[in-house]
Structures are given as C-alpha cells and as structure tokens.
C-alpha cells in the first residue's frame, strides 16, 4: 500500500496565513459547471482547492451582476479561488485591485488555456502566450496589483497554439519572473482542443525546466480516476494535479484521488441509488443558488447524462431527465430508477467535451511577430462573465 503513496501538498500563501492544499488536487474551472453548488459537492469529497467559473476582468470592473454571482462562494468555502480572464494589462490591474480592496477572493488563477475559436480568433486564451510582451505585461500587472493584498496568483496554460508554435516553457518563465506561485499545464495544444490523449511528457518537461526555480508545476489532462492522478505524478514529477472533465457527473472522483494520493487502493463506487441522492442534492443546491427553480433545473439538465453514464436507464426516462422543470418532477423521475452497481468500466472513461482537433482560428497576421505589441478587446466574448 505504501508503495503507491505520492503524498503532495501545495502551499498557498494567503493574507491570513498559509493554506496547505493537501492533497495537491485542484478542481479546474469550467464555464457553466464549477459554480458554487458543484464546487460544494466536490469539496465535500475532501480534496484541496476549488476554482470558480471564469470571470472576465472587464465585466468585473463594470460590476455586472452575473459576474458577482459567478464569484460567490458556497457556504463555508475557503479559500475563495477565482479564475480571472483578461487581455488588457490595465484592465487586469484594475480588476485585481478591485478584488483586493473589496475582499472578493483569496486566490486568483489566470486563464491562458481556453482553445475555443470565439476566444482564439481574437488572440485570447491559448493563443495569447504567443505574444510574449502582452502575456508578460498581463501577468505582471495582476501579480503586482495582488501583492499589497496578500493574494497569490497562479496561471493555467496549454502547450501552445499547435505543434509548430509551442509557448509553454517561455510563458512559464515569464510567469515565474512576474511572481506567480505555481504554473498549471493542460498537456494539449489549442489545435488539439480536447481530442486524443494529453501529452504528459510536456508536463515532465515543464517540471524539469522550472526545477531550479522551485516553483510548483501542476498537471492537467486525462485524469479519469484516482489512479490516473497518482500515475501522472509518478510519470511527470509534477507537484499536483488539476481535474476537469473527469469529475463531470462524478464529484466523488475527488474522494478516489484523496485515497490514491494517500496510498490507499480503496475505491468509492456508488450504486445508482447513491448517485440519485447526489443528483437530487445537486438540484436543491443549484435551485437555491439561482434563486429560481426554473433556472436551476434548466442549468441542471446538462449534468444528467454525465451522472447516468454507463447505468442501465430506459431511453424515455433519460429523455425526461433532460427536460426537468421542477424539483418535484426531478424527484419523481429519480424514484423510477432501479438500483444497480456502479458501471466502473464505462463510468471512468472520458466524458465532457470531445471537440475534434482543428487548426486554431487566429487574428490575421497573429503568428508573424511574437514580440508585436497588440491591443485586444476580448472580454465581451463571454456572455455573463
């Protein structure tokens, strides 16, 4: 048992003292997914740190109501981690200063990994680190603005735009020089989207590259079980893992990760009756969060297929789950399910986004000069954020 132990912890230096992320397992921010109710379900399973949905710097300083909802912590949630996105160094500084002055978060994670075309076509997300000076300026402005408030800043990025334009090593150097406390790498390029297997060797390369600095490296990509998390740490030497799609419909994945990181082979494989109670609790939490049964149930619908993945459920019942409009209806449907063991073989396979790779959509001339100073206005690309 001890031979499998890979205990890792991360130090998060907060204004109120050091917080130990133990084990070093972080819930990845996912748009439309990692709101306060889902974070609560996940953090109750015992893992380390849970990051909010992405909010944009411009929307924050414009004080948009929905942005504050996205940042709102759940009951007892601490530290409050928010993922912040921006493409203008000045706006980023203003947003971070606002977070500090109004005590809106304890930790800021910066997004440079989004591969979707509506973002990259304007030079944002995974495309932005290619512009070295702009990337460095954005990160430095964030770190400098956060420092007086004792707010640590981290970054999450991809390998690069495509296999011919890898940016992760140089971008990590810039981020470390600016003062971030760790770097997380999703081991795919923007061109890969969510296709194929993540290249964990890039995580190992980044860890070795940053080893002299002592800055921790977190790995992200293709963690579908607790054993996957252990294997990533062992194979790459990374200091922790970031989990995204693997926990969709499976918040208990974090319990498996905790067990695996502590050297235990114990698995949590809930029966369908146990899963249905998690589903209903998710429904109650999300209705309370939106303060609207109609809106909460509409948001919950996308989780149904993930929760029921691999279980034997009649097609008509599956269809009805995808159309729930009230908690009473939801309870009635759940009570029609027949108990059965967890379908481990199917349940631990890839889930969530499976977008096929494609040549990234970029602004005209984007790849001509990595040192070109550009001005981007991307924040409004994200509705509600």
| Local structure of residue 219 (DSSP, 8 states) | E
Which range (197-211, 300-314, 327-341, 356-370) has the least confidence?
356-370
Average of per-residue pLDDT across 180-208: 95
Considering 114, 238, 247, 297, which one is annotated as catalytic? 114
Q: Which residue has the higher pLDDT, 352 or 278?
A: 278
92 has pLDDT over 90 = yes
Long-range contacts: 196-199, Cβ < 8 Å, 24+?
196/357, 197/222, 198/222, 199/159
Instruction: State the pLDDT confidence band at 364, using cuts at 50, 70 and 90.
Output: confident
pTM: 0.91
Average of per-residue pLDDT across 88-101: 96
2 has pLDDT over 50 = no
Q: pLDDT tens digit string along 77-90?
A: 999 999 998 889 99
42 among known catalytic residues? no
Q: What are phi and psi of 11, to 5 degrees?
A: -95, 120
- How confident is the model at residue 91, as a pLDDT? 94
Q: Which residue has the higher pLDDT, 177 or 344?
A: 177
Instruction: State the pLDDT confidence band at 340, using cuts at 50, 70 and 90.
Output: very high
Long-range contacts: 15-19, Cβ < 8 Å, 24+?
15/106, 15/149, 15/150, 15/151, 16/106, 16/150, 19/79, 19/106
Location of structure tokens 């912890």: 9
- How confident is the model at residue 374, as a pLDDT? 72
d(CA 374, CA 372): 6
- How confident is the model at residue 380, as a pLDDT? 46
Q: What is the dihedral of CA 353, 356, 362, 366, to 10 degrees?
A: 110
- How confident is the model at residue 359, as a pLDDT? 81
Q: What are phi and psi of 193, to 5 degrees?
A: 55, -115
3 has pLDDT over 70 = no
- Domains annotated on the chain, with CATH: 2-268 (3.20.20.70), 272-340 (1.10.1200)
Q: Where are the alpha helices (DSSP H) in 179-308?
A: 200-210, 226-236, 253-261, 272-290, 293-300, 304-308
| Average pLDDT, rounded, for the chain | 90
d(CA 168, CA 186): 10
What pairing do the DSSP bridges indicate for beta strands 17-21 and 10-14? antiparallel
73 has pLDDT over 60 = yes
Q: What is the dihedral of CA 262, 266, 267, 273, to 10 degrees?
A: -120
Q: pLDDT tens digit string along 127-174?
A: 899 999 999 999 999 999 999 999 999 999 999 999 999 999 999 999
323 has pLDDT over 60 = yes
- How confident is the model at residue 344, as a pLDDT? 83
- How confident is the model at residue 345, as a pLDDT? 78
């Amino acid at each position: 048992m001890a031979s499998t132990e890979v205990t890792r912890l991360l130090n998060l230096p907060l204004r109120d003292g050091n917080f130990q992320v133990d084990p070093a397992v972080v819930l990845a921010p996912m748009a439309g997914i990692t709101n306060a109710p889902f974070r609560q379900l996940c953090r109750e399973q015992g893992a380390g740190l849970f990051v909010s949905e992405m909010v944009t710097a411009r929307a924050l300083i414009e004080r948009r109501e929905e942005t504050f909802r996205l940042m709102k912590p759940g009951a007892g949630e601490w530290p409050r981690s928010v993922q912040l996105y921006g493409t203008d160094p000045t706006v980023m500084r203003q947003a971070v200063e606002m977070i500090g002055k109004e005590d809106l978060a304890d930790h800021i994670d910066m997004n440079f990994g989004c591969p979707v075309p509506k973002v990259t076509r304007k030079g944002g997300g995974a495309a932005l680190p290619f512009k070295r000076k702009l990337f460095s300026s954005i990160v430095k402005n964030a770190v400098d603005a956060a420092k007086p408030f004792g707010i640590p800043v981290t970054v999450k990025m991809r390998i690069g735009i495509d296999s011919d334009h890898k940016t992760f090593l140089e971008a990590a150097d810039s981020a470390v020089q600016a003062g971030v406390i760790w770097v997380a790498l999703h081991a795919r390029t923007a061109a890969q989207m969510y296709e194929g297997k993540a290249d964990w060797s890039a995580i190992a390369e980044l860890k070795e590259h940053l080893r002299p600095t002592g800055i921790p490296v977190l790995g992200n990509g293709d963690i579908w079980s607790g054993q996957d998390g252990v294997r990533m740490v062992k194979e790459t030497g990374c200091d922790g893992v970031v989990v995204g799609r693997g926990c969709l419909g499976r918040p208990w994945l974090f319990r498996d990760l905790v067990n695996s990181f502590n050297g235990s082979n114990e698995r949590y494989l809930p029966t369908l009756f146990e899963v249905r109670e998690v589903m209903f609790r998710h429904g109650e939490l999300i209705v309370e969060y939106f303060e609207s049964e109609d809106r909460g149930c509409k948001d919950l619908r996308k989780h149904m297929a993930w929760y029921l993945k691999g279980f034997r459920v009649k097609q008509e019942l599956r269809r009805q789950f995808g159309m729930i409009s009230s908690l009473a209806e939801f309870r009635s449907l759940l009570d029609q399910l027949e108990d059965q063991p967890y379908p481990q073989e199917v349940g631990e396979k890839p889930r969530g986004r499976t977008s096929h790779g494609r040549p990234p959509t970029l602004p005209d001339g984007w790849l001509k000069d990595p040192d070109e100073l550009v001005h981007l206005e991307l924040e409004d690309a994200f509705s509600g954020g």
